[in-house]
Amino acid sequence: DVKVTQSSRYLVKRTGEKVFLECVQDMDHENMFWYRQDPGLGLRLIYFSYDVKMKEKGDIPEGYSVSREKKERFSLILESASTNQTSMYLCASSPSSGRVYEQFFGPGTRLTVL
């Protein structure tokens, strides 16, 4: 079974802090994704990566950055956390090929910024 893990289930940070959210997948997937989930808005893509050190902006990248130094690990960074970044953050991965694949999701990190 594909396993996607996220470093924390719950996180509380203060405004202005630098926040790191870590995601690790164990299936050698090329593609990795970071979403935020807010009620009534569904999942919105923040960033994705299709290879080590390669990244692309998603729909809402402002206030976020990412890092992918190893294939299995994709980090989301909030440079200076703000209260409007309080949300559920979901990481996902998928293979890259000519076939159509679903994405495999981690359990999520619920971040509260005070």
Partner 1 sequence: AQSVAQPEDQVNVAEGNPLTVKCTYSVSGNPYLFWYVQYPNRGLQFLLKYITGDNLVKGSYGFEAEFNKSQTSFHLKKPSALVSDSALYFCAVRDGFSGGYNKLIFGAGTRLAVHP
Find out whether 11 and 109 touch, Cβ atoms under 8 Å. yes
The CB-of-66 to partner 1 minimum distance in angstroms stands at 15
- Residue 53 binds partner 1 (CB under 8 A): no
- The amino acid sitting at 6 is Q
Nearest of 79, 75, 69, 70 to residue 89 by alpha carbon: 75
CB-count exposure of residue 11 (10 Å: 0-12, 13-18, 19+): middle
| Residue of 87, 106, 111, 113 interacting with partner 1 (CB under 8 A) | 106
The CB-of-19 to partner 1 minimum distance in angstroms stands at 19
| Residue of 45, 63, 77, 86 interacting with partner 1 (CB under 8 A) | 45
How many angstroms separate the CA atoms of 106 and 99, rounded?
A: 22
Q: Which of residues 5-34 bind partner 1 (CB under 8 A)?
A: 9, 31, 33
How many residues bind partner 1 (CB under 8 A)? The answer is 31
Which two structure tokens, joined as six digits, stand for 34? 């970071």
* Pairing mode of beta strands 87-94, 73-78: unpaired
| Residue of 55, 81, 103, 113 interacting with partner 1 (CB under 8 A) | 103
Binding residues for partner 1, rule: CB under 8 A, are 4, 9, 31, 33, 35, 40-45, 48, 50, 56, 90, 92, 94-98, 100-108, 110
